Every structure is written in structure tokens, then in C-alpha cells.
Chains A and B, each alone.
Chain A
């Protein structure tokens, strides 16, 4: 069985960059572990749970999410500016990156495959309600749908509405119920 050409080229790239002192195997391994274990949607879910239980925190999160994330020391570097948009009775928000795959790594980890797909990137702007319906999300006609286009400069995360039948428990329990897709805005809780 011949080796995958992309895999071979990636391996060649890594070996050349190591030889030239630009990379180390350990640094690459560490980043893989970091994104595997410590950067992920649990960070965003914790912000959501805190916002639901602490109005002051919620106000800060909505006015300057970048500062909140920096204070909490979340890893996942590429968030230059994070904006959190709130779902309400009047508005449903959904996030996309039409140009490539910009995504708030620090709070949601790495994007799922469909987020990077050309179909999602183009269609959610043109026909957001149809795309949301495919995720099983029916937004009532009287509710507005807002689509936010993430870029290298500004990345968006949705603050979902807390379901009415959830009790205001401790934030860990609440965070456990907050799904990644609800923070992208393609689903509701």
C-alpha cells in the first residue's frame, strides 16, 4: 500500500522545518495535546452557564468578551477579538465564516467539519432558516435570524437561551448541558 501523498508531504515539511530550527517535534506534540485536552467547547459552555447565573458577568461578557476570555486565561490563541451575541425572544443568532474557517478556538475548540464546508459557508447567509431547519432548528417566523460572519479580526460566539425548564443550578451542571452547536447558533437548547 502506497503512502498518502498529503501525509508524505506533511511529514517532509515537518522534517525540513525541524532541520532548519523552526519547529521541534515536542512543540508540535504539545499543541496537539493542548487542542485535544484543554481547548474546547467546555470553555464556552462555562461562560454561558456563568452568564445565565450572574447578570453582572453576563453584562461584561456581552460588552467585552475578549477581556473576559483573556482574564480567564483560556488557551487557543487566535482570538483577537471575541464578540458574544445573545439569543433572545426576539432574535436568533447564528455564526459562520464565509471566507474560510474563522472560529473562536479559545471558547469552542476547533471547528467541526461542516462549519468549513462550502455549502454551509454560502447557504447559511442566503437561506439561514432553511439551513437551521436542516439542523433541526425551527425558528418561529416572528423571531429575527441574524447571521454573523467571523473573520480573522472578529470571531463570534452565541449565548443561547436557557431552556425554561432548566433549574438555575450550579454552573458546572448547567455547563454540562450547553452544546457546541448551540454556541455556533445552529441549534437551540
Chain B
């Protein structure tokens, strides 16, 4: 099983799924995307609220001078976290602590 989701095609006479462009560049990007869709589907937020948050994050990122590679999924993940903080279903302290705990795992930890 591949880690990247490939959806799409280039111009030309190709069956639409055949020459997939990499939409996600790392597994974490596909999981963050799927988390947002799942939370929306289970009624944690309407998609429009997520969209509004994403627009805000991207607008402030667009206003910064560019530093090369455009990190769309960093913005996507930031928007999801912000929205969950606003909704009170997540606290930064808990997320920071869990992230730090995962960072301290011994190398080679299989997750």
C-alpha cells in the first residue's frame, strides 16, 4: 500500500486516474485532511467554519514574504488546530505535551 494518495491526471488522452499527481506529499498530510473531513462529518463543525479558518490562515501566510516552497498542508493543519481550539475541544497545552511526548520516543519506534 502506498503512503501517498494519488488522484488526478495530466492533460491529454489519459484515463482520469492513470497518471496520478501526488496530492499529498507525506502520510501525515493525508491524515490531517481525513481528520478534518471526519470531524466535519460527525458534526464537530460545519465545513464552512473550517473554510473560513483556512482562508484566514492562508491570508496571513500570503502576506508574509515567501520563503520558497508553499506549505499548503501546514496551513491546513494550522487551521484545523485553530478551529478546534476556538471550539474548546482541544487545548494548546495538551497538544504541545502530546507532541513533545511523541518527539521523545526512542528512534525506530514503530507507530
Contacts and interface: CB of A to CB of B under 8 A. Distances in A.
A9 B16 contact: no
A29 B41 CA distance: 14
Given A10-B77, A12-B95, 11 more contacts: A14-B31, A29-B34, A32-B31, A35-B7, A40-B17, A42-B15, A112-B8, A113-B21, A179-B11, A179-B16, A181-B10
Nearest to B105: A3
Interface residues of B, number: 62
Contacts of A20: 89
Interface stretch (A56-64, A84-92, A95-103, A140-148): A95-103
B66 interface: yes
Interface of B: 5-17, 21-23, 26-35, 37-42, 44, 47-48, 51-52, 54-55, 58-59, 62, 66, 70, 72-74, 77, 80-81, 84, 89-90, 94-95, 98-99, 101-103, 107, 111
Query: Secondary structure of the B side of the interface?
Result: helix
Interface of A: 1-17, 20, 22-24, 27-29, 31-32, 35-36, 39-42, 44-45, 77-78, 99-102, 109-113, 116-118, 135-136, 152-153, 175-182, 187
Contacts of A17: 35, 39, 84, 89-90
Given A12-B99, A13-B35, A31-B38, A77 B47 contact: yes
